[in-house]
């Protein structure tokens, strides 16, 4: 009887793993044992036949033994021929219809590929299996087991950790930076800025920026060193007062106080009055800037040119490399800790997902429906490719490899056929001999 495990081993690739080697050694030992038993039984039948023929002149009962052993040898040799003819030419003689499997390797490969794509991977059978499996319900049960959540967290953490390690390869790092630069360069910077301004303009939220700017300007003008600087600038530009009078600084300070009082009044008025004309002018300026960023023009070209210079500037590259190195270091430190932030977060997300799915059956059904929608097109697209690939792989195997794989997996059962053939043949011979004696 050919079991599913036999098929999985039978059509494995010609590069087995150490575990596959161990399984092959066990199968080979079992095959040798059953083959030895079949040969031993044949020898026993031959010895019985010789002994019975020797005793037959003096003991009539020996005829029954001789008939049994003679038929047993015939059955054993016939089944030996049949079994050997499947794999090779018996005794090296190229008799017709022998070495059946090597001679029909291409047909076997094509039939196997056709079976896989038409029977094993048929869309109705796969969808029926998916419905019976109920992936949404099984996923929910799986996610609600603490040991599975821990296993999932470890698995994803190890996979992410390996990805981080691989990404730091000196041969890969320049490629990653180059890809990042190319992606940043292809971004339409003016449009992005325009969209940001557009989002800020909704419900006049950009006025918050104006309020912040006015508040900072007011705070800036409160500093004494700023006031002194402004007084000196005003004093240097007062030309109507003779320098010999030394009144320029006092006049400058008086002028500054008047200007500052007027400016403070203006700022306070703008901050308190949401319909102030300056706010309206600010709205118009933001709108004009947003439109200018979206339309073709000098501003758009200047920003795109500046974007290209920034992306490919050596300092930007060094900043990316530094950021990449720091991010990698942080990820490695976090992922290597048993209770790291990322691993814990992954497990927490999975736990939350399992809890939500458990209390909402429509979500489980939705998962089933999405899988059922996704799988059939994939099957229809790739099943013929998979069948052709399997057939091509089998055709590339050598005759010896193919025979060895099949013989290892079903040869033991075929050797039992030899054992059964010996015993059944002997029993049939005994019955025929006994019936003949009764007839006479």
pLDDT of residue 191: 79
Mean pLDDT over 198-216 rounds to 75
Q: Which of 312, 332, 362 is the last residue of a domain?
A: 312
Who has greater pLDDT, 46 or 325?
46
82 shares its domain with 187: no
pLDDT of residue 2: 39
DSSP letters, 260-310, are HHHHHHHHHHHHH-TT-HHHHHHHHHHHHHHHHHHSSSHHHHHHHHHHHHH
Quote the CA–CA distance of 34 and 424 in Å, as a whole number. 17
Q: Which of 312, 346, 372 is the last residue of a domain?
A: 312
Domain with 431, as residue range(s), is 4-103+397-439
196 shares its domain with 308: yes
Phi/psi region, residue 59 (left: phi>0; alpha: psi -120 to 50; beta: rest), is: beta
Question: What sign does the CA torsion over 92, 94, 95, 101 have?
Answer: positive
Q: How far is CA 317 from CA 168, 198, 203, 330, in A?
A: 16, 30, 39, 20
Phi/psi region, residue 153 (left: phi>0; alpha: psi -120 to 50; beta: rest), is: alpha
Tell me: pLDDT of 394 over 80: yes
Q: Which of 282, 312, 342 is the last residue of a domain?
A: 312
Tell me: pLDDT of 12 over 60: no
pLDDT band at 40 (very low <50, low <70, confident <90, very high): very high
Tell me: pLDDT of 353 over 60: yes
Tell me: pLDDT of 33 over 70: yes
190 shares its domain with 281: yes
Domain count for the chain:
2
181 shares its domain with 262: yes
Is 112 part of any domain? no
Q: Give the range with max mean pLDDT: 8-12, 235-239, 328-332.
A: 328-332
Is 199 part of any domain? yes
87, HSE (Cβ side, Cα atoms, 13 Å): 19
pTM of the model: 0.48
Quote the CA–CA distance of 338 and 308 in Å, as a whole number. 43
- Which single residue is written with the structure tokens 């180059």? 178
Q: What is the pLDDT of residues 122-169, one digit of tens each?
A: 888 888 888 888 888 888 888 888 888 777 777 877 787 777 777 666
């Amino acid at each position: 009887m050919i079991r599913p495990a036999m098929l999985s081993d039978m059509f494995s690739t010609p590069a087995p793993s150490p575990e596959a080697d161990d399984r092959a050694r066990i199968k080979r030992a079992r095959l040798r044992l059953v083959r030895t038993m079949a040969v031993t039984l044949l020898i026993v039948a031959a010895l019985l036949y010789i002994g019975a023929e020797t005793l037959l002149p003096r003991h009539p009962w020996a005829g029954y033994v001789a008939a049994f052993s003679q038929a047993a040898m015939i059955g054993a040799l016939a089944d030996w021929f049949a079994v050997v003819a499947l794999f090779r030419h018996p005794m090296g003689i190229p008799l017709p219809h022998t070495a059946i499997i090597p001679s029909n390797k291409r047909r076997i490969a094509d039939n196997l590929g056709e079976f896989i794509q038409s029977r094993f991977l048929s869309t109705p059978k796969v969808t029926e299996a998916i419905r019976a499996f109920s992936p949404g319900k099984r996923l929910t049960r799986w996610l609600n087991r603490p040991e599975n959540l821990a296993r999932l967290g470890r698995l994803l953490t190890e996979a992410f950790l390996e990805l981080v390690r691989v990404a730091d390869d000196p041969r890969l790092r320049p490629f990653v930076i180059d890809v990042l630069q190319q992606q940043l360069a292809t971004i339409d910077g003016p449009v992005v800025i325009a969209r940001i301004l557009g989002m800020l303009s909704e419900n006049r939220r950009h006025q918050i920026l104006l309020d912040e700017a006015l508040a900072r300007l007011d705070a800036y003008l409160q500093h004494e060193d700023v006031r002194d600087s402004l007084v000196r600038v005003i004093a240097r530009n007062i030309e109507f007062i003779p320098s010999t009078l030394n009144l320029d600084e006092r006049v400058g300070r008086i002028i500054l106080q008047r200007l500052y009082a007027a400016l403070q009044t203006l700022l306070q008025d703008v901050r308190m009055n949401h319909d102030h004309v300056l706010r309206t002018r600010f709205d118009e300026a933001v709108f004009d800037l947003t439109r200018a960023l979206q339309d073709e023009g000098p501003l758009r070209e200047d920003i795109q040119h500046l974007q290209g210079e920034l992306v490919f500037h050596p300092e930007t590259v060094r900043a990316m490399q530094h950021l990449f190195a720091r991010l990698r270091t942080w990820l490695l430190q976090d992922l290597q800790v048993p209770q790291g932030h990322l691993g814990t977060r992954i497990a927490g997300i999975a736990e939350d997902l399992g809890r939500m799915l458990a209390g909402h059956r429509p979500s489980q059904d939705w998962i089933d429906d999405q899988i059922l929608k996704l799988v059939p097109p994939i099957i229809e697209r790739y099943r013929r490719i998979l069948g052709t690939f399997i057939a091509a792989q089998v055709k590339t195997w050598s005759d010896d490899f193919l025979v060895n794989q099949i013989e290892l997996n079903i040869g033991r059962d075929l050797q039992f056929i030899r054992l059964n053939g010996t015993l059944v043949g002997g029993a049939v011979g005994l019955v025929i001999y006994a019936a003949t004696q009764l007839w006479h």
